[in-house]
Structure 1
């Protein structure tokens, strides 16, 4: 029998599998996707948010625990478990050496539009390179890896993991029969339900015209995170945490693919201009805070607008101050022309831009700091980086909500144990998106998802290995007692 079964194939699952193997356990990892799509949402990541008290290898200056905590507190609005959040924060300062040991490489500090060289360590080659490094290390360590192996249900006995059920599958090599896989302990790291359109519909509901808001959502990440395992655990009485409508949701290019668009579909010029809805009206402060801290609120903001669509509007002064998008935006030499190209009502759109321009109070524009360029007497205000949109050509980008991962998940503690009626399971653990809602009740800040997955993946792996040793010892003691 396998000591530790890890269900999932992204960063958290791999961290758990590697830690369990290092602790001496035999490990099998089940990845739902084919090999070429392995890695879940982690393949689309770029960086890890890291606490550090002073300059460290690829990190500049300092990013102390309290500042990290305050950043997290701000974006979550207090919807976070401080004990678990601080556990993640502290763990983020100690993991890079271990990551390097397993082949992960970090690139020199970045400067420019992202402003995160102080807070985030970037992976050389991005998330795909990180995932490939972990899989290479796992193979070298003798971890059994199974692709095309989605788990449809978990067998439990009084909160104890017994076995996982993998359904029959039609694959290129023929039909794979259904399987029942037993293990002494298990780590759940199979992601959220962001690719389950029916579940998203249930969570977000319909408008008065019977339209489903979720039908206008795009999925930034993997199509394989359908939440089947999460629903199974919740139906079996696992303690839940989080709101099903809360997610890491970003405003992305409306022309992005339905799945796996990743980071490159993000539109990063929001703070340099204005955003209007389909009625041509502004609806939120575009200059509230630095983009890496506030970019993740915009998907949810757009989701709350008519038709779940918005439009980011800039002029030529903004060009060069943000990461250029993959697809060119609509371009025009007048505001009227831009409105027509975007399909917006000309009168209300032009009026909104003119009102914004008139309200701008220019100071010293500096996109690297919270500058003094702001609006006055305008609702909603723009509190920083407010400059008139008056220098053609003008550019417009249609935005849709892009769901990265959902926050409804399994409640846990500092041991990563799944809980049933408040009681921790002795051999079932959870990591990654399936428990991120313990730390992220709402909101997001760049790189913190990888911090959570790395911290709890490593904890879950150690705990699962220890639980498997206990189960093995108990089994042997039982056999010895029977023989004697």
Structure 2
């Protein structure tokens, strides 16, 4: 019998396993996917970690060497600002205890991972813009990412786990939890060869993701139409362990009616691409305009930094006709788009020398698109200087307004990137305390059961600050593994 069983082989699961192993516990990690399917949603991420810090000098010891560091401006991101951002984007619905623990331990958690051998870098290509002096200026409270993105993160976690003596079993689909005298004592599983078994343990840590890959559950909990969303990451997160935990007496936690969903290439497959991973997202929308199939704008592309709007705008796209929209840019804006996303292999895009021709190419009414662009351009306050590294207040006073970064769309050729809704993960999960101990409906601890990662409910609702998921997985995975 193992001391600890961890279900799920993403960042949160590995963090829990490492924390338990550091206490001398024998740890078995059960991963639903085969080796070529493993890593959960962590594999599909850009590897971004949002942490509180005091500026470049405070984090440089975590980073791979890079000659650009000498010309880098990284504003401090204090713990209290992290906490303010989390509460602001969730409309005050983030659990106060979980949020405080996340902000306080974000920096120490990343240093802990670094001590295990994981590598990090500044995400220049995603989170910085050049200033007039040629320096790299970071924006939006997010700068650090794992070296090699999500693929690198999972690879480094796997190597570190093996070095720590953690047993990893791939191809194990876990089902019901074993419960004896009110305590969780193990988990039932089937393997890829058709075998079945039970792994007993003193404690079970659940890190198996949400239900975003389950179309029926999406429709039931998120609402009609969500069954049509594309799955941005792993197709394996179907809610199996949520179902098992609820059957064992766990209580629901967090907001089961909302999720993390982004603008995603409309030509993408139904679930994540393990080669392109995060490159199918389209996150330079604050620089251009977004229109639906009727040729109308329907959101404020510049309401805030991308880090604070991208996770809710996928849902806005899904609510449009046919769940589809187009990001529109002109020749002057096009070079500013993220190369890794907008120049990725197989990117879906239409290009035309005029707006009527672009409308025809994407099946949008010509007059409507031309009118939308003309009204947008006419509404821009061009007396305000454009500065993508701050909320510059350069607005277009149209309907809906664009609050920042309003650049005219007037120089051919014109580009239209068709996007749909790509769901990343669901916000609803299990109720737990700040240490990852799963709670029952009367808020008592369910002995032997812990939760972390996307299965932990209560942190996010309606929206999400970029880079918080991996940080939360590490913070609460480490906390759960420290007690398990």
Out of 380, 388, 412, the residue aligned to residue 392 of structure 1 is 412
> Deviation per CA, 1:115-159, whole angstroms, max 9, x where unpaired?
459633221111222211221122122211110001011122454
Normalized against structure 2, the TM-score is what?
0.89
Seen in structure 2, the aligned counterparts of structure 1 residues 184 and 252 have a Cα distance that, compared at 3 Å, is same
* Aligned counterparts of 1:404 and 1:183: Cα–Cα separation in 2: 31
Q: Give the equivalent residue in structure 2 for 1:344.
A: 364
Question: Could you tell me whether the CA contact under 8 Å between 1:248 and 1:403 is conserved in 2?
Answer: yes
Structure 1 residues not aligned, in runs of 5+: 207-212, 465-484
Question: Could you tell me whether the CA contact under 8 Å between 2:17 and 2:481 is conserved in 1?
Answer: yes
* Aligned counterparts of 2:386 and 2:245: Cα–Cα separation in 1: 51
Aligned-partner SS, 2:100: helix
Seen in structure 2, the aligned counterparts of structure 1 residues 159 and 283 have a Cα distance that, compared at 3 Å, is farther
* Aligned counterparts of 2:140 and 2:400: Cα–Cα separation in 1: 31
Aligned residue pairs: how many?
Answer: 451
Q: Give the equivalent residue in structure 1 for 2:41.
A: 41
2:238 pairs with 1:223: no
> Deviation per CA, 1:51-104, whole angstroms, max 9, x where unpaired?
013432338341101111111122111110122111011111112332122221
> Deviation per CA, 1:219-247, whole angstroms, max 9, x where unpaired?
11111111111022223431112333311
2:82 pairs with 1:68: yes
Structure 2 residues not aligned, in runs of 5+: 64-73, 129-137
Out of 240, 252, 259, the residue aligned to residue 271 of structure 2 is 259
2:454 pairs with 1:452: no
What displacement does 1:295 show?
A: 1.8
Out of 170, 174, 191, the residue aligned to residue 209 of structure 2 is 191
2:445 pairs with 1:424: yes
Question: Could you tell me whether the CA contact under 8 Å between 2:255 and 2:460 is conserved in 1?
Answer: no
2:328 pairs with 1:313: yes
Aligned-partner SS, 2:249: coil
2:389 pairs with 1:368: yes
* Aligned counterparts of 1:78 and 1:314: Cα–Cα separation in 2: 34
What displacement does 1:373 show?
A: 1.9
What displacement does 1:109 show?
A: 6.0
> Deviation per CA, 1:147-187, whole angstroms, max 9, x where unpaired?
000101112245410221113x4x4xxx3421022111110
Question: Could you tell me whether the CA contact under 8 Å between 2:177 and 2:248 is conserved in 1?
Answer: no
Query: Could you say which structure has the larger radius of gyration?
Result: 1
Out of 56, 59, 80, the residue aligned to residue 57 of structure 1 is 59
* Aligned counterparts of 2:327 and 2:121: Cα–Cα separation in 1: 31
Question: Could you tell me whether the CA contact under 8 Å between 2:430 and 2:451 is conserved in 1?
Answer: yes
* Aligned counterparts of 2:286 and 2:51: Cα–Cα separation in 1: 25
The alignment's C-alpha RMSD in Å is 1.8
Q: Give the equivalent residue in structure 1 for 2:116.
A: 102
> Deviation per CA, 1:268-324, whole angstroms, max 9, x where unpaired?
231111111111111111111112222222101112222211111111121222203
Question: Could you tell me whether the CA contact under 8 Å between 2:11 and 2:42 is conserved in 1?
Answer: yes
Out of 303, 308, 325, the residue aligned to residue 288 of structure 1 is 303
Seen in structure 2, the aligned counterparts of structure 1 residues 42 and 455 have a Cα distance that, compared at 3 Å, is same
Moved more, 93-102 or 185-194: 93-102
Moved more, 383-392 or 454-463: 383-392
Q: Give the equivalent residue in structure 2 for 1:298.
A: 313
Q: Give the equivalent residue in structure 2 for 1:88.
A: 102
Seen in structure 2, the aligned counterparts of structure 1 residues 158 and 375 have a Cα distance that, compared at 3 Å, is farther
* Aligned counterparts of 1:370 and 1:51: Cα–Cα separation in 2: 20
What displacement does 1:113 show?
A: 5.2
Seen in structure 2, the aligned counterparts of structure 1 residues 98 and 119 have a Cα distance that, compared at 3 Å, is same
* Aligned counterparts of 1:182 and 1:409: Cα–Cα separation in 2: 24
* Aligned counterparts of 1:202 and 1:111: Cα–Cα separation in 2: 38
Question: Could you tell me whether the CA contact under 8 Å between 2:182 and 2:447 is conserved in 1?
Answer: yes
* Aligned counterparts of 2:454 and 2:222: Cα–Cα separation in 1: 19
* Aligned counterparts of 2:381 and 2:156: Cα–Cα separation in 1: 50
What displacement does 1:216 show?
A: 2.6
Question: Could you tell me whether the CA contact under 8 Å between 1:251 and 1:298 is conserved in 2?
Answer: yes
Question: Could you tell me whether the CA contact under 8 Å between 1:216 and 1:400 is conserved in 2?
Answer: no
* Aligned counterparts of 2:236 and 2:121: Cα–Cα separation in 1: 29
